[in-house]
Amino acid sequence: MAKRQLVTPLELVERIPDFEGREVIAVGVEVPGISGGLNDALTVEPTVLHIGDPVAVVTIGRVKTVDHEPFDKKDLDGSLRRVQVVAVDEAHVIRDVASLDALLAGQRAAIDAAIIASEESEGIHRLPMNADEDDDEDEDDEAAVTARAHNQGVHADGLRPECQLCTLEAEFAAEENGTSIEEELARRPVPAS
């Protein structure tokens, strides 16, 4: 699977200063000395971690250098990515990751939105695959109502072209059978009522 490339929203890109006349469209960070500060912390306060343990690491440091590299490695004359290199002075392990949920909730939501925007820019659109009766979704949301009906088996008697999930099923079947989506929809028509 190719690594997902998140895109910085345009209104935030405009806040990043250009570098030597070239547009900078992303910001990253490198923390090469993190193990030193963390090992010091673990020496004075040993913390045993096991595979799969959730853990957070808080670091305090200073920006040592700022580099600029091509955003797209194949386009050396294109836009740049700013890379801020941080030298770590201190680090601390936090075992109670749940205590950070409120602090990170906004950032998680922003990252999720960026992932969805990145997928949509590649033509990938998410469907409400887990819609069910207990959801608090707005009943006026036609896509959610249709997905809920689909997931409850209401469309088991035939594929409905107006249902995104039925169309998706037809698309997969068409690819698998070497046919068109229309042919697959016609193979499983909705019975006349």
Is residue 22 within 8 A of residue 72, CB to CB? The reply is no
Q: What global pTM score does this model have?
A: 0.54
- How do residues 118-153 score in pLDDT, each as one tens digit? 777 777 777 655 544 454 555 556 667 777 777 777
Hey, which bits of the chain come out as E strands?
24-30, 56-70, 80-94
- How do residues 62-103 score in pLDDT, each as one tens digit? 999 999 999 988 999 999 999 999 998 888 888 888 888 888
